[in-house]
Amino acid sequence: MAKEEEQSAGRNWRPETALVHGGITRSQWNETAEALYLTQGFVYNSAEQAEARFKQEDPGFQYTRFGNPTTAMFEDRLKIFEGAEECLATATGMAAVTASILSYVRSGDHIVAARAMFGSCRNVIETICARLGVSSTLVDGKDLNAWREAIRPNTKLFFFETPSNPNLELVDIEGVCKIAREKGIISVVDNVFATPLLQRPLALGADVVVYSATKHIDGQGRCLGGAVLGKTEFITKYVQEWLRQTGPSIAPFNAWVLLKSLETMPVRIRAACATAAKLADLLAGLDGVTNVIYPGRADHPQAELAARQMPGGGQMIAFEVAGGKSGAFRCLNALRLIILSNNLGDTKSIVTHPATTTHFKLTPAQRDELGISDGMIRLSVGLEAAEDLADDLTNAVKAAKG
Ligand SMILES: Cc1ncc(COP(=O)(O)O)c(C=O)c1O
C-alpha cells in the first residue's frame, strides 16, 4: 500500500494520530500542511472524461457543491477518527441535522425525538417536518419506556442529543438505539455537546451521528460547519443526494480550518474538561448557587449513565443562581473575563442565559418541563487559566445576590 493510501486508511493509529495525519492527500508539491483548494470547479482533460465523471465512471471532482479535495480531507479525517463508514461535511450543524432527517423521511412518516434539544432542531422536527406531512412525538429522552410507547407503525426515525442543550440531560444511547434497531427505525444522534472525543454514538448502536463542527471541532469560534456520519448505505443513498441537490455544502476554506482544528481537538477538549470539572465543583460550593448540573459530578441525576457513555464530563456546565432572572442577569453583567454570547465550544469561556436567548421561543410551561429556569446560566468552559475563571465566577455569583 502506498504511504498516502496508508495515511488515508489510518490503519492501526491511535485517535490522536488519526486526527493529525488521517485523510491527507498531497498535491504534486508534497506540502506538509494540508492544501486549501479554493476553487469552484475542476478542469476535464477531454469531453470523454467529463462524460465519464458525470456518470461516476471516472474518479475525481466535478464541482465544489458535490465535493472538493480540501473538504474530502476533512471528511476522511473525521470519518477515520469516528470509525464511520462515510462522512459528509455540511455548511452548518443545522444543515447536517436537516439533511440527516429530511433526506430520509417521507410524507406520512413519524419521528420520535427527545424533548430536551436545541431550539432549531426542535423547529425542524415539530414545524418543518409537520409542514411536509411528517408527524412527531417528543418524549422524555431519559425514559426508555417513553421511547418504546411512542413508536407507531409509521415511525421511521429517532432523534436525540445527549447531553442536551442547555440542561445537560443524558439519553442512554445504547438503550434507545437498541429499541430503534429492533423496530427497523433509524437513530440519529446529535453529538455536539459531548464532542467526538467524549462519546461514540456509532459504537453504541446509533445509525447516524451529526455534528455542528462550528462548536468544539473548530473550537476557536471562527467557522461554521457540520458533518453527518454513518453507514455507506444510508449516507450515499439518502444524505449525499440531498446535499448535492439542495446545496448546503461547506466552503473549502471552512473545511480547511476545521480540518486543521481536528489536529488540536483532543488537547483542547481535555484541557477545557479539566477546567470545567474544577469550576463545577467551585460553583457547587458557592453561596448563591442553588444547583449545578455537570455530567462529570457524582450528583448529576444520571451520573451512572454519564460514567458509562462519556469518559469525561465535557466542557459545558449549567448552574442556577438564586433570584431568578434578575439574579442571573446580575451575575452575567458582573462577569469581567467570561464573555456573554449564545455560542459555545470556544477557547474563550462563554455564558448564556438560555431562558431569554437560545430557548426564549419556548413557552414558560415548555421551559419548566425541560428544567430551564429563569435563574439558569449555561457556561461553556474555554482554555483560560482555571484560577482566573474561578475568580470571575466567584465575584459574579457574589454580585448576583444583589
Ligand atoms: C446541540 C446543537 N445542535 C446543532 C446546532 C446547530 O449548529 P450550527 O449553529 O453550526 O448550525 C447547535 C448550535 O448551537 C447545537 O447546540
For residues 185 and 133, membership in a common domain is answered with yes
Please state the rounded mean pLDDT for residues 262-291.
Answer: 98
Bridge-based pairing state of the strands 208-212 and 186-190: parallel
In which element (H, E) is residue 159 found? strand 155-161
Last residue of a domain, one of 244, 261, 278: 261
For residues 145 and 168, membership in a common domain is answered with yes
Mutate to test the pocket of ligand 1, among 100, 170, 214 (most ligand atoms within 8 A of CB): 214
Last residue of a domain, one of 261, 286, 316: 261
Q: In whole angstroms, give the CA distance from residue 230 to residue 324.
A: 42
Locus of grid cell 469516528: 82
C-alpha cell, 104:
430520509
For residues 244 and 319, membership in a common domain is answered with no
**pLDDT greater than 80 at residue 3:** no
Ligand 1 atom having least distance to the Cα of 224 = 10
**Residue 6 confidence class, pLDDT cut points 50, 70, 90:** low
CB 129 within 8 A of CB 106: no
For residues 295 and 179, membership in a common domain is answered with no
pLDDT over 90, % of the chain? 95
**pLDDT greater than 70 at residue 8:** no
CB 190 within 8 A of CB 124: no
For residues 115 and 252, membership in a common domain is answered with yes
For residues 223 and 329, membership in a common domain is answered with no
**Residue 12 confidence class, pLDDT cut points 50, 70, 90:** confident
pLDDT over 70, % of the chain? 97
H and E: helices and strands count for the chain = 17, 12
Lowest mean pLDDT among 4-13, 206-215, 358-367, 376-385: 4-13
For residues 204 and 305, membership in a common domain is answered with no
In one letter, which amino acid is 109?
D
C-alpha cell, 310:
462519556
pLDDT at 203: 96
* Higher per-residue pLDDT: 311 or 7: 311
For residues 100 and 51, membership in a common domain is answered with yes
Kindly give, in sequence order, each residue whose CB lies less than 8 Å from that of residue 301, ignoring residues fewer than 6 positions away: none
C-alpha cell, 302:
444520571
Mutate to test the pocket of ligand 1, among 100, 165, 212 (most ligand atoms within 8 A of CB): 212
pLDDT at 7: 54
**pLDDT greater than 70 at residue 322:** yes
For residues 95 and 223, membership in a common domain is answered with yes
For residues 187 and 118, membership in a common domain is answered with yes
What residues does ligand 1 touch, defined as CB less than 6 Å away?
92-94, 97, 118, 120-121, 161, 165, 190, 192-193, 212, 214, 224, 226
Q: Which domain range does residue 16 map to?
A: 3-261
pLDDT of 85-114, one tens digit each?
A: 999 999 999 999 999 999 999 999 999 999
**pLDDT greater than 60 at residue 4:** no
pLDDT of 352-397, one tens digit each?
A: 999 999 999 889 999 999 999 999 999 999 999 999 999 999 999 9
Mutate to test the pocket of ligand 1, among 100, 159, 165 (most ligand atoms within 8 A of CB): 165
Q: What residue spans of 285-323 are helical by DSSP H? A: 303-309
Supply the CATH number for residue 318's domain: 3.90.1150.10
DSSP symbol at 220: S
Please state the rounded mean pLDDT for residues 128-141.
Answer: 98
Q: 248: cis peptide before it, omega within 30°?
A: no
**pLDDT greater than 70 at residue 10:** no
How many residues are present in the chain? 402
- Ligand 1 centre distance from Cα of residue 99 (Å): 14
CB 29 within 8 A of CB 12: no
- CA–CA distance from 209 to each of 187, 269, 288 (Å)? 9, 19, 38
CA 315, 319, 323 angle in degrees (round to 5)? 155
- CA–CA distance from 83 to each of 12, 65, 196, 208 (Å)? 12, 25, 10, 12
**pLDDT greater than 70 at residue 2:** no
Q: Strand pairing partners for 318?
A: 293, 378
For residues 196 and 279, membership in a common domain is answered with no
- CA–CA distance from 117 to each of 142, 193, 266, 355 (Å)? 12, 11, 25, 14
Last residue of a domain, one of 245, 261, 277: 261
Please state the rounded mean pLDDT for residues 244-253.
Answer: 97
**pLDDT greater than 50 at residue 1:** no
For residues 242 and 293, membership in a common domain is answered with no
Bridge-based pairing state of the strands 155-161 and 289-293: unpaired
- Ligand 1 centre distance from Cα of residue 287 (Å): 33
Ligand 1 atom having least distance to the Cα of 342 = 14
Mean pLDDT of the chain: 95
Nearest CA to ligand 1 atom 16: 118
pLDDT at 327: 97
- CA–CA distance from 321 to each of 76, 193, 238, 282, 327 (Å)? 44, 22, 45, 14, 6
Domains in the chain, number: 2
Supply the CATH number for residue 119's domain: 3.40.640.10
- Ligand 1 centre distance from Cα of residue 93 (Å): 5
